[in-house]
């Protein structure tokens, strides 16, 4: 089984920090330029080059990141595109592989290092320091006085949760905490897992107003509310547009606009990181071993409003969130699977009706008389679909809100039946 160690990486000097940042920035540039060429291949009919051709970009950056790391970044992009074409064949593709940020919103500083190219030595005692050695290109070695056969040496903070065959290392900069971090996949024998008896499942409905609605086979329901978080995101977006309208002709950005973009992205990413960890800690306590996440294909633009689509595309950053979920889940020995969840938001859990059901905000109604919470019901139906069995009665849901630092539980209560009734009456009157 594959698990993950996550730990902090600490440069030993300002010079080492600068060298590491340049390594990550060059890797991000290599990804972006490789990805740009491949996106152009699909959109520009005059391009004759094969989509996998990336030799020019590889040669440009190997002097900074090193040959092996440059190959890893390009191969990672290969994987993203092969996954896209596979999903496209099955009709489930949800957009082209994206970029690692840009100048305005801030570049995602990240790289991937082959498993035989780095050395990680964990301290065996309290007086020892854990150490990570990573390769850099010839150009950086010359600039930062690193020996020809030496590598960049960094300190490590944290303890490994898993011990086994190590895989490719992901190294990145977390702008919110102003720290460098690393993710190390580890292959662990099944007999050594920390929760061998865990066999419960959970299903997530990823939404616009409620970021995540979760149901588990243990009867737990969790609702992570996102309205306030999105309102702040939208306010910053409005400020960006206002400042852009005041730019002189020929200018497209400014320092203030770039700061606003980065602030908006940091807030979103911080909330998503915290959500993923809070959720997985709760699910681990429930002995959940598998989490099903609904794919958004077929939902965007078909059933949702323009505002909801904007929330999902710009604010939610679905792919990035799934990556966060998967990495965090792996720390706890939980597997994440993305599955289609067609009709779960439209089908009545009581009678199975789809055509005449009504959704307004969080409320769901059916002509049969059923009323419930749309997102929580959808996650429960999705769970029943993936576990091929009946899902029992659920406990009162835990509602969680973001306070800029953590997700706090408000109360455990049934959906507001009075509000649902009022909305139903209003919809009926309008009709």
**Average pLDDT per 10 consecutive residues for the chain, totaling 431 residues:** 87 96 95 88 64 68 94 91 80 75 75 96 84 96 94 92 88 86 85 62 86 93 90 88 88 87 85 92 91 67 46 62 85 85 72 78 84 88 83 83 88 47 36 32
Kind and range of the H or E element at 33? helix 14-43
Q: Which of 192, 212, 228 is the last residue of a domain?
A: 192
What angle, rounded to 10 degrees, do the helices at 14-43 and 55-65 form? 170
- What's the rounded Cα separation, in Å, for the pair 316 and 319? 9
User: Which residue range forms the structural domain that includes residue 315?
Assistant: 200-430
* Largest Cα span, the chain: 78
Task: Identify whether residues 177 and 204 lie together within a single domain.
Answer: no
Q: Which of 192, 219, 236 is the last residue of a domain?
A: 192
Residue whose structure tokens are 């929580």: 376
Q: Which of 192, 219, 245 is the last residue of a domain?
A: 192
Task: Identify whether residues 215 and 188 lie together within a single domain.
Answer: no
Task: Identify whether residues 122 and 226 lie together within a single domain.
Answer: no
pLDDT of residue 87: 74
Task: Identify whether residues 259 and 231 lie together within a single domain.
Answer: yes
Task: Identify whether residues 210 and 144 lie together within a single domain.
Answer: no
Number of domains in the chain: 2
The 363-365 sheet, strands edge to edge: 358-360, 363-365, 371-373
pLDDT of residue 303: 39
* Residue 408, token pair as written in the block: 């706090």
Residue pair 168/113 in contact by the 8 Å Cβ criterion: yes
pLDDT of residue 425: 34
Task: Identify whether residues 47 and 75 lie together within a single domain.
Answer: yes
pLDDT of residue 47: 56
- What's the rounded Cα separation, in Å, for the pair 142 and 353? 69
Residue pair 383/202 in contact by the 8 Å Cβ criterion: yes
Residue pair 371/365 in contact by the 8 Å Cβ criterion: yes
pTM: 0.70
Task: Identify whether residues 101 and 228 lie together within a single domain.
Answer: no
CA 19 to the chain's CA centroid:
27
pLDDT of residue 191: 54
Task: Identify whether residues 365 and 296 lie together within a single domain.
Answer: yes
Residues 6+ apart with CB under 8 A from 91: 297
pLDDT of residue 213: 93
Helix (H, G, I), strand (E, B) or coil at 338: strand
| β 179-187/2-10 pair status | antiparallel
Spell out the alpha helix ranges (H) of 151-254: 227-245
Task: Identify whether residues 62 and 118 lie together within a single domain.
Answer: yes
pLDDT of residue 171: 95
Would you list the DSSP string of 124-177? SSTTS-EEEEE---HHHHHHTT--TT--EEEEEES--S--SEE-PEEEEEETTT
pLDDT of residue 314: 57
Task: Identify whether residues 176 and 233 lie together within a single domain.
Answer: no
- What's the rounded Cα separation, in Å, for the pair 228 and 234? 10
Task: Identify whether residues 211 and 360 lie together within a single domain.
Answer: yes
Task: Identify whether residues 142 and 214 lie together within a single domain.
Answer: no
Residue pair 175/194 in contact by the 8 Å Cβ criterion: no
């Amino acid at each position: 089984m594959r698990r993950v160690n996550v730990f902090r990486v600490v440069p030993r000097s300002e010079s080492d920090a600068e060298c590491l940042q340049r390594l990550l920035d060059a890797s991000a540039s290599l990804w972006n330029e490789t990805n740009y060429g491949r996106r152009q291949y699909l959109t520009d009919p005059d391009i004759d080059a094969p989509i996998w051709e990336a030799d020019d970009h590889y040669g440009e950056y190997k002097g900074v990141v090193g040959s092996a790391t440059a190959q890893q970044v390009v191969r990672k992009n290969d994987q993203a595109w092969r996954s896209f074409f596979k999903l496209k064949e099955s009709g489930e593709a949800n957009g082209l592989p994206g970029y690692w940020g840009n100048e305005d919103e801030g570049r995602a500083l990240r790289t991937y290092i082959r498993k035989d190219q780095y050395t990680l030595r964990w301290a065996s005692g309290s007086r020892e320091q854990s150490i990570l050695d990573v390769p850099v290109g010839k150009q950086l070695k010359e600039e930062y006085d690193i020996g020809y056969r030496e590598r960049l040496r960094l300190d490590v903070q944290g303890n490994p949760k898993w011990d086994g065959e190590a895989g490719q290392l992901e190294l990145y900069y977390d702008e919110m905490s102003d720290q460098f971090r690393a993710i190390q996949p580890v292959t662990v024998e099944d007999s050594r897992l920390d929760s061998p008896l865990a066999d419960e499942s959970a299903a997530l409905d990823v939404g616009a107003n409620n970021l995540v609605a979760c149901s588990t086979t243990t009867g737990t329901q969790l609702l992570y509310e996102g309205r306030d978080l999105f309102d702040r995101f939208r306010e910053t977006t409005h400020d960006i547009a206002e400042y852009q309208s005041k730019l002189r002709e020929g200018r497209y950005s400014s320092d203030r606009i770039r700061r606003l973009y980065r602030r908006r992205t940091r807030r979103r990413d911080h909330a998503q990181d915290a959500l993923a960890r809070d959720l997985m800690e709760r699910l681990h306590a429930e002995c959940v071993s598998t989490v099903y996440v609904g794919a958004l294909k077929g939902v965007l633009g078909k059933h949702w409003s323009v505002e909801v689509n904007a929330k999902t595309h710009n604010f939610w950053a679905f792919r990035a969130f799934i990556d966060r979920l998967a990495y965090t889940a792996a720390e706890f020995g939980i597997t994440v699977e993305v599955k289609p969840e067609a009709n779960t938001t439209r089908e009545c859990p009581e009678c199975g009706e789809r055509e005449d059901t009504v959704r307004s905000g969080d409320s769901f109604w059916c002509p049969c008389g059923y009323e419930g919470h749309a997102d929580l019901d959808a996650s429960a139906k999705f769970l029943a679909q993936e576990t091929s069995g009946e899902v029992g009665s659920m406990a009162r849901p835990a509602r969680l809100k973001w306070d800029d630092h953590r997700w706090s539980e408000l109360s455990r209560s049934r959906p507001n039946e009075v509000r649902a009734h009022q909305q139903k009456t209003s919809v009926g009157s309008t009709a």
